[in-house]
Structure 1
Amino acid sequence: MEVKKKKIEDTLRLIPLGGLGEVGRNMTLLEYKNSILIIDMGFRMPEETMPGIDYIIPDISYLLENKRYKNVVGVVITHGHYDHVGAIPYIWNRIGNPPIYAAPLTKGIILKRQDEFKDQPKLDVNEVKDGSKIKLDVFEIEFFKQNHSIPDNMGLLIKTPVGNIVHTSDFKFDNFPVNEKPTDFKKLESIAENGVHLLMCDSTGAEEPGHSLSEKDIFENMDKIFAGAKGRIIIATFSSLINRIQQAVTLSEKYNRKVGFIGHSMKSNVEVTKKLGYLKSQKGTLLKKVAETNDLPDNQVTILCTGAQGEENAGLMKIATGEHQSIKIKPGDTIVFSSSVIPGNERSVQILKDDFIRQKANVFHYKMMDIHAGGHAQRDEIKEMVRIMKPKFFMPIHGQFSMLFANARLAEDECGYKEDQAILADNGNIINVTKDRVFIDNKSVSAEYIMVDGLGIGDVGEVVLRDRQMLAKDGIFVIIAVVNRKTGKVQESPDIISRGFVYLKESKDLLYQARKKVIATIERSTTSGQVTNWTYIKDTIRNNLGDFLFQKTQRRPMILPVIIEV
């Protein structure tokens, strides 16, 4: 009797290494047999509980295991925001230097940032545009333009052996964008004609009802501010909001103002966009140095700067505190916060606003009038995208878990999808995609936070972070004891060094008792100098002294016992 072999389903594995359950760090793998396609390679900013950390990047352990990176056929980049391209300098050369495919502005931003990494090999960046089609082994990719807050933003149609996958990128539907054509709905419909098996859809605006604001509305409100301003106008925004920068330049020219720039990333992006023709301006409008604005009448000056989130070392903070070498606030200046506040930054931004108001500046922000539009589709736009694409399966991407959940529920409650058709995944999940179904595997891959601290990549883990948090919270308490090797007795009084815990001159009684505790602990643990385990004694000092200091102060500093044998 012939035994039939069980047919193995043809399966594509979709593996998000970042971007799900968080905003930023976007990176996704599509793996089919021995071919891996990478979508985006971004970073995210650290949380407040991560002192000293510069960025957080995706965990590429899966690619490094068994040298899977050798199977990478290419990296496609959707657009030039750093949450999609920022990790390239830290990852690309560790995975075999695969070819990168990006639109012209995105390519320019990638290469400009790479200039800061002189020791890296030259990037292999291939230029694509709206309508470009490329074939990377089993993957056929078509790029299509999507409106966002930066030009050259591309959605992806990925033809795979198991069906067509559409990746929306970050997107919004805007009938009146800045320096761009509006969404081409006929193009979207043509993409959907051959059937969409899985739609990977931006979730960042999925909790917001209705339709996102058009850049036309922002432009009209900014125009009112320019028309009423008698002095200098200082606009703080993200350096990556190229469309907002263009609006400011256009309005400055309308009202006979010159434009200066503050902030490394702001200057860098302006240089790239101007060179590639994405930032349009008349000759002489853009100043080479912001100090040149001091030679002009105040009503002929616009300054664009970074720091709208209250970042400590950014340009706007330096202006507010009087630390900027060229720009000092004057009564009558107009300050425009043209960005929403990222959760967690509310207090820093409020302090900034207060500082400017105290200095008699006029402050405008997005809660007062519509001077910021997000670059992400809200609920009505997401429903329209689903209506056009008619995907068999729907997978929310890009956003905090609440945003992903809202997007999945939107698909179920308002678009007619069943729960098993709306795939709610997390970083590290393996999403199996076959011709008939899409489901999350019971296995997963590592998708931990990889932290960048200066030149170090991944060498700061939970233990180091915990130490930094402890130092920031309760300070450090170093106690140095000299012990006689023969007798086991402490010679003289132990020295104490305290930083960020107590002021030594005002805590003499506490320090006296702490010294007694240390001496007693050491001498109890030594017998005629026969010490076998100094590590154990140091741990005992750390625990006993920690309990004592907490009892007296309700604070537990990092305690470092130093024992010197003589």
Structure 2
Amino acid sequence: MQAMKDSTDNLLSATDSVEKKQNNRNRRRTNRRPGSQNNKKMAPGNNQKQNSVPNKQSDRQHPASKHRPQIVTKGATGKLRVIPIGGCEEVGRNMTVFEYEDDIIIVDMGLQWPEEDMPGIDYIIPNIEYLKGKEKNIRGVIITHGHYDHIGAIPHLIPRLGNPTIYGTPLTLGIIAKRQEDFRNNAPLRLKSVTTDNTLRLGKFKTTFFGVSHNIPGSFGVIIETPVGKIVHTGDFKIDPKSSGDAPTEIAKIKDLGKQRVLALMADSTNATESGHQLTEGDIQHNIDEILKQAPGRVIVGTFASLLGRIQQIIWAAEKLGKKVVIEGFSMKRNVELAQQLGYMKLRKGSIIQLKDMKSYPDNKIIIMCTGAQGEDNAVLMRIANNEHRKLKVEKGDTIVFSSSVIPGNERSVQRLKDMLYRKGAEVVHYKMMDVHAGGHAKQEDLFDMIQMVRPKYHIPVYGNHSFLQNHAKVALKAGIPINQIFIPDNGQVMEFDKAGNGRLLKEKVPSEYVFVDGLGVGDVSNIVLRDRQMMAADGMIVVITTLSGKSGKLVHSPDIISRGFIYMRENKGIVEDIRTKIKNIVNEHNKTSGKINDAYVKEALRNELGQFIFTKTKRRPMILPVVIEV
């Protein structure tokens, strides 16, 4: 379970993954399939009969295929509407709308990695159908931190929302600006830097901030003062008062919220199924120091490009031991440079050396930091293991450290990578052997502490699959929140609060269906297209070309058959001939019942009858594409 939950920290922090996807369309990444459980007997808030889990297939429909609601440009008078557009039925796609009359603010705008049954999809972004016609009401977009599950949809959605101002810490905005360079046709973003000491007035909303520990610097939670009361949104967080590689959690500010009659707390549920407290970065520093100290040769550390706190820890350890650090991987180099420029990462001059200078130092004085701890084909660590890197090869005596847990779905590729490294004589260290990775999300005891400090009237678990939210709700119950004051929303489900401090989880839902990004296409891949891809991926396809006489309706010559992903035709000539014979029989049967050619009828007959024939023969159902040519 530790592997599954801590891996969600990494799942969306891999900034290098998106860049590689855009630059290499042949490489496809998959992610765990978000599931949802609907246990109404155990679900806090379900006694209101307002929480339901939608059918996942219907959720995947392209927005254009749904009935579009009438556009309303103003919220209900005197009421605050809180709407999680995404992030409440999956890990990722985080985006929450806060609306009071004609003022709107948005917290986060992230992407979600595709599920394993979404071939060809690069990632998924939130559906902003509800905001159409309300663009002028948007007072700002607040980004809690720089991971792609919180910023990844910005290039696609901000232009469609009228280019509102984006607020975040300097590092968060720096990562957003760097990614925007890949979308040169977009208008320049309006970015405004804030710190946790700043106050923003955005229409009828007043927002302040508190620092939180996560596995990227510059993370914060948001305090939103509204005409009906205060809403606190934690963003991604763990409680680490003495964080070594990152800003510590601002405990005093959080405790002070407990005196301010907070109306509702929206808190991170990513690790809500895990008991205890999350490891701190200080907890793993000793182990990192020992590994680097005792390694007989080079140390190669694989991690994510955005885990800047971890990178900082390793550089500090290297400096104490008089070792030099080489950074390999474009996105990791870029993030380290950006963090240095903005003052988030501090290191001595000469601590980092270029790859070409590595030979000037003995092996036991070299540490190589690189991307690829998830076994990605084109990442640095896999290329080193495969002898595909131009200048680096695994040598006997090397120590390889996987400083991240395994993302669900990547287990096979990671195991294959480990096997290759062992075969080459390397020693491999990973999080199951010793604590070399601290997750970035609060566990149950941390969530309990957060609720106890903030003391909200209402509690709203967010960020995670439905089962994560349910487990988080149980923690809230233990922390003293009444069952009817815990809301477990689905994506798109509206929560409403009035000036008397009363909240409701409504049956009303706004569009929240998946919007797929595939190459340059945004939202143009529908459920039908996905189904076709799934069919072809499962059983391949057959193109059947029949040329018929316009006068007699008979075959002019033997049907042509093209197979892709179904059978290798040269080695299965018997099946091919059986298919040809079946095609001839279908066409001849049509001639008996009709005096002239009916293309649509012939195509439909070929699809249905040939499909059934092939299934009977092979127990496979390839996609059949009939082509009828009349001459």
- TM-score per shorter chain, which class? over 0.9
Per the alignment, residue 242 of structure 2 pairs with: 176
Select the residue among 432, 435, 440 that pairs with 2:496.
Answer: 432
**For the Cα contact (< 8 Å) 1:130–1:145, is it kept in 2?**
yes
Q: In 2 relative to 1, CA 501–145 (structure 1 residues): closer, same or farther, beyond 3 Å?
A: same
Structure 2 letter corresponding to 1:136: L
- 1:249-304 Cα deviation digits (max 9, x unpaired): 1122233333223333222212211221212222222235x454356432232222
Give the aligned length.
555
Q: 1:552 to 1:284 in 2, by over 3 A?
A: same
* Alignment partner, residue 4 of structure 1: none
| Residue of structure 2 aligned with 1:43, choices 87, 94, 111 | 111
Structure 2: distance between partners of 1:366 and 1:442: 43
Deviation at 1:200, TM superposition (A): 0.6
Separation (CA, whole Å) in 1 of partners of 2:317 and 2:167:
34
- Once residues 112 and 189 of structure 1 are traced to their aligned partners in structure 2, the CA distance between those partners, rounded to angstroms, is 35
> How far apart, CA to CA, are the structure 2 residues paired with 1:241 and 1:104?
16
Equivalent position SS for 2:556: strand
Q: 1 or 2 for the larger relative contact order (CA 8 Å, sep ≥6)?
A: 2
Secondary structure (helix, strand or coil) at the match of 1:493 reads: coil
Give the TM-score, by structure 1 length. 0.95
Distance apart, 1:431 and its partner CA: 0.9
Q: How does 1:225-236 map to 2 (within 5 A)?
A: 225-236=291-302
SS for the counterpart of 1:526 is helix
Q: Which moved more, 1:294-303 or 1:79-88?
A: 294-303
- Describe the SS at the equivalent of 1:491: coil
Question: 345-354 vs 256-265, which deviates more?
Answer: 256-265
Q: After the TM superposition, which of the residue ranges 302-311 and 103-112 deviates more from structure 2?
A: 302-311
Distance between the aligned counterparts of 1:320 and 1:218, measured in 2?
26
SS at match of 1:152: coil
Aligned counterpart, 2:90: 22
307, 332, 335: which is aligned to 2:400? 335
Does the CA-based 8 Å contact 1:451-1:457 persist in structure 2? yes
Deviation at 1:432, TM superposition (A): 1.1
Contact 1:486–1:529, Cα closer than 8 Å, also in 2: no
Give the aligned CA root-mean-square deviation in angstroms: 1.8
Would you say the 8 A contact 2:210–2:250 is kept in 1?
Answer: no
Q: 1:136 aligns with which of 184, 202, 218?
A: 202
Superposition pairs of residues 287-306 of structure 1, within 5 angstroms: 287-288=353-354, 290-293=355-358, 296-306=361-371
Pair 1:117 & 2:183 matched: yes
**Which residue in 2 is equivalent to 1:263?**
329
1:96 aligned partner, one-letter code: G
1:467 Cα deviation from its structure 2 partner: 1.5
Q: Which has the larger displacement, 249-258 or 456-465? A: 249-258
Instruction: Find out whether 1:446 has 2:511 as its counterpart.
Output: yes
Deviation at 1:9, TM superposition (A): 7.6
Contact 1:175 1:214 in 2 (8 A): no
- Paired with 1:9 and 1:542, the residues of 2 have a C-alpha distance of 56
Is the CA contact 1:395–1:422 (under 8 Å) kept in the aligned structure 2? yes
* Residue matched to 2:483: 419
Secondary structure of the corresponding residue to residue 486 of structure 1? coil
**Superposed, which structure 2 residues align to 1:204-243 within 5 Å?**
204-243=270-309
SS of structure 2 residue aligned to 1:47: coil
Residues 297-306 or 158-167, more deviating:
297-306
Which residue of structure 2 lines up, in the alignment, with residue 390 of structure 1?
A: 455
Shift of 1:357: 1.2
Does the CA contact (< 8 Å) of 2:495 and 2:506 recur in 1? yes
Alignment of 1:360-509 (within 5 A): 360-412=425-477, 414-434=478-498, 435-509=500-574
Cα 1:135–1:285, aligned 2, differ >3 Å: closer, same or farther? Answer: same
Q: Distance in 2 between matches of 1:418 and 1:469?
A: 45
Q: 2: CA distance between counterparts of 1:97 and 1:138?
A: 20
| CA distance in 1 between partners of 2:341 and 2:246 (Å) | 17
Q: Secondary structure at the match of 1:407?
A: helix
| 1:105 matched residue in structure 2 | 171
What is aligned with 1:5? none
Q: Secondary structure at the match of 1:490?
A: coil
Deviations 1:325-351 (A, max 9, x none): 332222221111111112222222112
CA contact (8 A) 1:484 1:529 kept: no
Gapped regions of structure 1 (runs ≥ 5) = 1-7
Aligned-partner SS, 2:334: helix
C-alpha separation in 2, matches of 1:445 and 1:467 = 28
